[in-house]
Amino acid sequence: MSHTSATRPQFSHARARRAGFAAFVGTAIEWYDFYIYATAAALVFGPIFFPEADRLAGIAAAFATYAVGFLVRPLGGIIFGHIGDKFGRRPSLVITLLVMGLSTVFVGLLPTYENIGSWAAVLLVVLRVLQGLAVGGEWGGAVLMAVEHSPEKYKTFYGGFAQLGNPAGALGATLIFGILSAQGETFLVDGGWRIPFLLSVVLIAVGFWVRYRVEESPVFEDKVEGKEQSVPIKYALRNNWKPILIGIGLLPISTGGYYLATTFATAYGTDPSVGLNETLILNAMSVAAFCELVTCLGIAWLGDKWGRKRVMAIGLIGSVVFVVPQFLLMSTGPEWLIFVAFAVVRVAMNFTYAPVATILSQLFKPQARYTSISLSYGLAAAIWAGLSPLAATLLWDATGTVWSVIGLFAAMGALGLVCLAIAPQHVDDDVYGEQGAAGAAGLDGAAGGGGAEGTGTEGMWKKESFK
């Protein structure tokens, strides 16, 4: 049954801007919390929570604890996806922000191995699990709030606001750790590492205020709310299992490759065999995060002009090409070129990251979309992001060369390209100046070709290649 223009969801730039800003603020806070944990795992958690291990084993143990947060993300996606698909995107996102923020603050209050022995590591894992559950439900909901408020021809741009939170959070995390590491060699280990975690209490208050004021998604209100539907996870597994698998295969570079170029690179660069100063590498990552931040929305805009899949393909290829000099220059210098290499890689990876929010959200029809995108992203994060720093550390230890890590990165990029080529794109009904198929035709015209099938409440499917 078709919707009339009066009952189709109403989209506007004003609503999209408000939703996009709320998505940005929330994801920036969430990713700040996540990145300060990742940075602390690379720099100080080994000796603080696993002091009986040698340096490399301590890093591996810290990364294993770090990976736990990714491994529980799919469960978080199911829990908060259920809330988001049954009761609305907004209440789910308020809860994820509070859980993530409070867990992060409690990490900053944890006693260390010196105080309570092995229980310190146990408590760290518990809090990491809570962080992972929250992030498992956060990203998908924030993306949907931005994308589902947006006119069809601007979805990639507004979806980029949710992605903008990642470099903003990373920039905040690396900046504050850079400042703290400059206070002396022992400052971080002696308790300075707690400061970034405790600062989260201020960010929680700001994020809660911004997120609570945003309107509910018009797509949810029109197509999901009040309608009889099965349990979201059952619907997702029965009807969306193919696009969920495609989504997992899309994300090796956007998730796992990202942490190879940041978290693992921090551990690799500060290893005695490479010999980079902690402050130098953190400053290089801060510059890179800033470059990613200022280019994110521009790249997302290109996704609407050139085609979001084409933009992501450029990013996948560019990331593999440019990560090679990043790792090689870390052991040879000069320092200024290390800064350039880090920045170039992050911008290249931004071409995979900026459009992926919209690509993933439009893999699915509105029913059980929150659960489906969260499950797809959560499983991808568990596989690629959660295990890649650990796998890279073990590969590096086993082979004695960073080329094994570069090979892993290249394989991940190849898988992403294959899945990108076969990923379909759903089109929500649009009443921003044009309706239904007219909106899809406009997107085709902007992106260059393609086709659409079906109308009405089911929307349309675009079977597209790299466009």
**Under a CB-based contact definition with an 8 Å cutoff, are residues 443 and 154 in contact?**
no
Model pLDDT for residues 247-275, shown as the tens digit of each residue: 999 999 998 998 899 888 988 888 888 88
Model pLDDT for residues 342-384, shown as the tens digit of each residue: 999 999 999 999 999 999 999 998 889 999 999 999 899 888 9
Query: DSSP letters of 4-15?
Result: PTTTSPP--HHH
Model pLDDT for residues 170-211, shown as the tens digit of each residue: 888 888 888 888 887 688 888 898 999 998 888 888 888 887
pLDDT at 35 > cutoff 60: yes
Q: Please list, residue by residue across 21-50, b when 16 or more beta carbons sit within 10 angstroms of its beta carbon and e when fewer do.
A: bbbbbbbbbbbbbbbbbbbbbbbbbbbbbb
In 3D space, the residue among 254, 273, 256, 315 whose CA is nearest the CA of residue 402 turns out to be 273
Mean pLDDT of the residues in the chain? 82
In 3D space, the residue among 103, 102, 124 whose CA is nearest the CA of residue 48 turns out to be 124
* Burial zone of 419 (CB within 10 Å; 0-12 exposed, 13-18 middle, 19+ buried): middle
* Burial zone of 385 (CB within 10 Å; 0-12 exposed, 13-18 middle, 19+ buried): buried
pLDDT of residue 224: 67
pLDDT of residue 325: 94
pLDDT of residue 151: 85
Q: Which one-letter amino acid corresponds to residue 281?
A: I
pLDDT band (50, 70, 90) for residue 450: very low
| Residue 375, token pair as written in the block | 């499950």
pLDDT at 333 > cutoff 90: no
| Residue 202, token pair as written in the block | 């201020």
In 3D space, the residue among 22, 20, 74 whose CA is nearest the CA of residue 354 turns out to be 20
- Of 62-71, 100-109, 116-125, 316-325, the range with the highest mean pLDDT is 316-325
* Burial zone of 435 (CB within 10 Å; 0-12 exposed, 13-18 middle, 19+ buried): middle
Q: CA-to-CA distance for 177 and 265, rounded, in angstroms?
A: 15
In 3D space, the residue among 278, 276, 260, 258 whose CA is nearest the CA of residue 394 turns out to be 260
Query: Using the 8-state DSSP alphabet, how is residue 251 labeled?
Result: -
Q: Which residue do the tokens 């947006």 mark?
A: 150
Query: DSSP letters of 218-239?
Result: HHHHHHTTTS----HHHHHHHH
Q: CA-to-CA distance for 146 and 157, rounded, in angstroms?
A: 9
Distance of CA 234 to the CA centre of its chain: 25
What region, left, alpha or beta, does residue 427 occupy, with left being phi > 0 and alpha being psi -120 to 50 degrees?
Answer: beta
pLDDT at 433 > cutoff 70: no
pLDDT of residue 87: 87
Mean pLDDT over 201-229 rounds to 76
Q: Which one-letter amino acid corresponds to residue 193?
A: W
How many C-beta atoms surround the C-beta of residue 453 within 10 A?
A: 14
Collapsing DSSP states into helix, strand and coil, what is residue 461?
A: strand
Give 51's Cβ-side CA count (13 Å radius): 10
| Residue 120, token pair as written in the block | 């310190």
In 3D space, the residue among 147, 357, 149, 137 whose CA is nearest the CA of residue 233 turns out to be 137
The domains of the chain, with CATH numbers, are: 13-219+231-423 (1.20.1250.20)
Lowest mean pLDDT among 138-152, 229-243, 385-399, 446-460: 446-460
pLDDT at 428 > cutoff 60: yes
Instruction: Report CA torsion sign: 9, 230, 96, 383.
Output: negative
Residue predicted with more confidence, 229 or 443:
229
Model pLDDT for residues 58-73, shown as the tens digit of each residue: 666 766 776 777 788 8
In 3D space, the residue among 200, 207, 198, 25 whose CA is nearest the CA of residue 101 turns out to be 200
Q: What is this structure's pTM?
A: 0.78
**Under a CB-based contact definition with an 8 Å cutoff, are residues 307 and 284 in contact?**
no
Collapsing DSSP states into helix, strand and coil, what is residue 453?
A: strand
pLDDT band (50, 70, 90) for residue 55: low
**Under a CB-based contact definition with an 8 Å cutoff, are residues 408 and 383 in contact?**
no
